[in-house]
Homo-oligomer: A and B are copies of this chain.
Amino acid sequence: MGAPPPVVSETLRDYGSLVRDAVRAYLPPVEPRRYLYDLVADYPGRGGKMMRPSLCIAVARALGAPLDHLLIAAATSIELMHNAMLVHDDIEDESDLRRGKPTLHTLWGVAMAINAGDALVIRSLRPLLAAAAHTDPRLALRIIEETEHMARESAEGQALELGWRADNVVSLEERDYFEMVLKKTCWLATIHPVRMGALIAVAGDVDPAAFVRFGFFLGAAFQIQDDVLNLVSDEAVYGKDSDGDLREGKRTLMIIRLLQLADADERARLIAHLGTPLRDRRGDDVRWIRARMDHHGCIAYASQVARGMADAALAEYTRLFASVPPSRDRAFLEGLIAWVVERTS
């Protein structure tokens, strides 16, 4: 798998711009601004890669759907839901930075940020309800049901990750990690956008289960690369706290690998760090963990697993889209598979 072709960044830019405008229309500066709607509009206004909505649009168009009101509404809803989840995730993970700026709860306090996240979750249904007026109502209900399903899977994945940290679970295997990533990351990042695109293209006459494997492989590759970037990126480029995952005690593939390869002393120190309350964790522990990861080749290993996932995604993609005629959207989808593991931010 080589470097991603230019069509990837061009499509992310073009569909991203389209969806960003649509998102803005659903976040008007109405009252109460100071305590709610300025907060609700904050994260969506900070930009973002726009991978999720672009994926939805590209799948639908590759399968023959027009770029119509319903498709843009679905992509807009996905982007709003993604931002809503970021707000609550940042509180739950006690993250300080998001897209290069302080997180919403850092700026406004936990209480107002929780409420703004709630408002944004609910807001993400609005494009779907607005589009429903011009759509087969059964299809509209199916799309809302897809959204409910995705949000449920995401909450289950987040619960696993939070619970592992709260209980300081260290007996994790790779299959536990992949179950968590399937739920926490893949449903919203890849499976849901792909299924929504397919549902819209064929007006509901599709088995969305066919897209779960493709979405899982693509999303897992994306998440592992995200976790790698958290360790190896410049904060200025990455936009989140560098090494924040180590500080937060996040159960990444690299941490699970390190727990497996560490000797008894290393393992004891690592478990003690992970069991320390977040605010009491020491920077030199974080640097030490990072050094042990390098020693045991954990980051290189994770990058290799991510590339394996991308290869599997490509195989699924090839099977799923075998009879779909070539198009710019097809080229984007194929290129995106390389992009998720080659990107540097």
Cβ of A115 and Cβ of B145 under 8 Å apart? no
A178 to chain B, nearest CB (A): 15
Query: How often does this chain occur in the complex, in copies?
Result: 2
How long is the Cα–Cα vector from A158 to B39 in the complex, in angstroms? 14
A109 interfacial by beta-carbon distance below 8 Å: yes
Q: How far is the CA of A125 from the CA of B162 in the complex (A)?
A: 24
Residues of B within 8 A of A34 (CB): 163
**Does any Cβ of B come within 8 Å of A326's Cβ?**
no
Interface window among A132-140, A251-259, A306-314: A132-140
- Judge if A123 is at the interface, Cβ distance under 8 Å: yes
**Range, interface on chain A:** 35 or more
B residues near A148, Cβ cutoff 8 Å: 122, 125-126, 129
Contact B141 A137 (CB under 8 A): yes
Whether the pair A159, B114 counts as a contact (CB closer than 8 A) is no
Known contacts: A34-B163, A35-B162, A166-B109. The answer to whether A155 contacts B115 by CB under 8 A is yes
Within residues 78 to 127 of chain A, which ones have a CB less than 8 A from any CB in chain B?
88, 91-94, 108-112, 114-116, 118-119, 121-123, 125-126
- State which residues 155-186 of A face B: CB under 8 Å: 155-156, 158-160, 162-163, 166
Are the C-beta atoms of B36 and A156 separated by less than 8 Å? yes
CB <8 Å contact, B118 and A151: yes
Output the least CB separation between A203 and chain B (Å): 14
Contact residue among B35, B88, B158 (Cβ-Cβ distance under 8 Å from A159): B35
Q: Is A6 part of the contact surface with B, judged by Cβ < 8 Å?
A: no
Report Cα–Cα, A326/B160, bound state, in Å. 53
Distance to closest chain B CB from A180 (angstroms): 10
The distance from the CB of A93 to the nearest CB of chain B, in whole angstroms, is 8
- Complex: chain B residue closest to A108, CB-CB: B166
B114 touches A114 (CB 8 A): yes
In the complex, the answer to whether A141 meets B155 with C-beta atoms within 8 Å is no
Question: Smallest CB–CB gap between A320 and chain B, Å?
Answer: 27
Interface residue A32 (Cβ < 8 Å from any Cβ of B)? yes
Say whether A144 faces chain B, with CB atoms less than 8 Å apart.
yes
The 9 A-B pairs with the shortest beta carbon distances in the complex, nearest first, are A35-B163, A36-B159, A137-B137, A92-B111, A119-B155, A35-B159, A122-B151, A129-B145, A125-B148
Sampled A-B contacts (5; CB under 8 Å):
A32-B160, A35-B160, A122-B151, A129-B145, A137-B141
